[in-house]
Structure 1
Amino acid sequence: MASPAEEHPPAVPYGTPNAPRIAVRGEAHLEVDAEIARIGITVSARGTDRRDALTDLTRRNATALDLVKTYGDAVEKLETGAFSITPQLTKRGRGERIRAYHGRVHITAELTDFTALGELTTRLADLDLTHVDGPWWALRPDSPAHRQARQQAVHEAVQRAREYAEALGTTLAALVELADIGAENAQPYGNAHPGAAMMRTMAFEEQDGATGEAPPLDLEPQRQHVYAQVNARFTMAPPEL
């Protein structure tokens, strides 16, 4: 009776003379249009009385939110982040005296209409004590560009393996392994990447006597780079050497 080891011989990691293996890497790099743009909005208020500072902050926050909401379907996501109200102490004197209160609310808006983005950004920056950061351009997690890059990387791996086999005068026999490289290092959605384009931070206040609205910004979306890499192992028919 055969032993378990004889019934199931261990796999040979580097192939055999009758079934040589080829290990290749397939890569793809696509450059595509951005699908979404994200901006950060910081609304501030300052006053000598805590209640007055909170009232001003609430009013300005509502004004900013209402303005963003007027753009309807162009805004895909609107979220309120951190809120703070901080007392500012006097620098002189023995006692701790509060000179003023500073309040801030951080808002994040995500848009898909880049024409509306330029207009909205300008109008937000024209509000009192309102800062605008961004935009950060990105693709959606389910963007077809990701699938296209992965498929292209697989096709390149197969083509490369075929070329090696042809150089030996033989053909591929079977796929043994296909591994996605760097899956554990994938970047979370929503984080700005090193190549993200950041618009200059704006901190405008309405000036006395100013009339009308500032013209909308002409923003050029940054092209997005999509990478995919795979490792593939194939067996091939024994070549005639």
Structure 2
Amino acid sequence: MPDIPRVVVRGEAVTEVLPDAADLVVTVQVRDRRRERALELLAERQQELNALLAAHRESLGAVSTDAVAAFPEAGEAGRVSGSVATTTTRVRVADVGAAGEVAVAVAGLTDVSVHGPHWRVSPEHPAHQEVRAAAVQDALARARAFAAAFGGRLTGLVEVRDAGGWGGGTVTAAFSSARSVPALELRPAPQEVPGQVEVTFTMSHPDQEVFAR
């Protein structure tokens, strides 16, 4: 039995939706001449941050500590003048409408800086499924065009693979701690949600006259 011809294509689609999640990256950094005191200050500032985040827990998702560091600080002539201690905490904001409020509240803490929000489209957003379906339709149209160009037609499906994509871009802002902070209204931009699939079809045998032209 002769081999059955196959058509392998990539289907693509993209849509734009408003983000439904955001990330904040919060850094606490303290300095002191004594290493022990720097670590004590860091623990105090981190507790203040944790308490503030707990007060906003209804608007938040996961909160995790990404990094902790303590290192000597060089002064004049390269001599050690003190110690620096830092923590980095990643905060997922489930309610995008509260992202500005949370960012400003955190930025109001002492020895704290905030980077974000990093807008995201969560994996659970229905746009992902919709764009994958559109990518499949794109692949089907391409495969039909290829088969028709050889005087044939599609006869079956062999395999479909999700070729992946990304969950939206990021728009960020940075805030440093201050004694008073203004109200901040953020307007997240629509995020691109792409879909890509690789599909293999079987097709009828091509018209031999195509190769004689």
| TM-score range for the pair, normalised by the shorter chain length | 0.7 to 0.9
Between the aligned residues of both structures, percent identity stands at 31
Partner in structure 2 of residue 82 of structure 1: 67
1:1-241 equivalent positions in 2, closer than 5 A: 12=3, 15=5, 21-92=6-77, 98-162=80-144, 171-181=153-163, 183=164, 195-199=169-173, 201-206=174-179, 213-237=180-204
Q: Secondary structure at the match of 1:222?
A: coil
Query: How many Å apart are 1:44 and its aligned residue?
Result: 1.5
Change (3 A) 1:49 1:22: closer
- Residue 99 of structure 1: how far off its partner (Å): 2.1
Distance 1:166 1:49, change over 3 A: closer
CA-to-aligned-CA distance 1:8-59 (integer Å, 9 cap, x gap): x5x736x2xxxxx544432211111212100111112112223322222111
Q: Could you tell me how far apart the structure 2 residues matched to 1:26 and 1:160 are? A: 8
- Structure 1 residue 63, shift from structure 2 partner: 0.7
Q: Is the 8 A contact 1:170 1:236 kept in 2?
A: yes
Deviation at 1:236, TM superposition (A): 4.2
SS in 1 for 2:19: coil
SS in 2 for 1:196: coil
Partner Cα separation in structure 1 for residue 26 and residue 131 of structure 2:
33
Task: Give the secondary structure class of the aligned counterpart of 1:62.
Answer: helix
Kept in 2: contact 1:82–1:105 (CA 8 A) = yes
Q: Is the 8 A contact 2:131 2:195 kept in 1?
A: yes
Once the two structures are superposed, residues 116-172 of structure 1 have per-residue CA deviations (whole angstroms, 9 ceiling, x without a partner) of: 211111121122221101111112233322222212111222234445666788753
Structure 2 length-normalised TM? 0.81
Pick the structure with more helix per residue: 2
Please tell me the residue identity of whatever aligns with 2:95. D
In 2, are the aligned partners of 1:150 and 1:229 still within 8 Å (CA)? yes
Superposed CA RMSD in Å reads 2.9
Q: Which blocks of at least 5 consecutive residues in structure 1 are unaligned?
A: 1-8, 16-20, 207-212
Distance change >3 Å, CA 170–CA 46, structure 1 → 2 = closer
**3-state DSSP of counterpart to 2:68:** strand
Hey, what's the Cα distance between the residues in 2 that align with 1:23 and 1:87? 58
In structure 2, do the counterparts of structure 1 residues 77 and 177 end up closer, same or farther at CA, with 3 Å as the change threshold? closer
In structure 2, the residue corresponding to 1:141 is in which secondary structure? coil
Radius of gyration: which is bigger? Answer: 1
Q: Deviations over 1:80-133 (max 9, x none)?
A: 12112222244249xx5x422211111110002123211111121122221101
Consecutive unaligned residues of structure 2, counting only runs of 5 or more, are none
TM-score (norm 1): 0.73
Tell me the equivalent position of 1:210: none
Task: Supply the AA of the counterpart residue of 1:57.
Answer: L
Q: Distance in 2 between matches of 1:147 and 1:157?
A: 15
Preserved CA contact (<8 Å) 1:122 1:215? yes
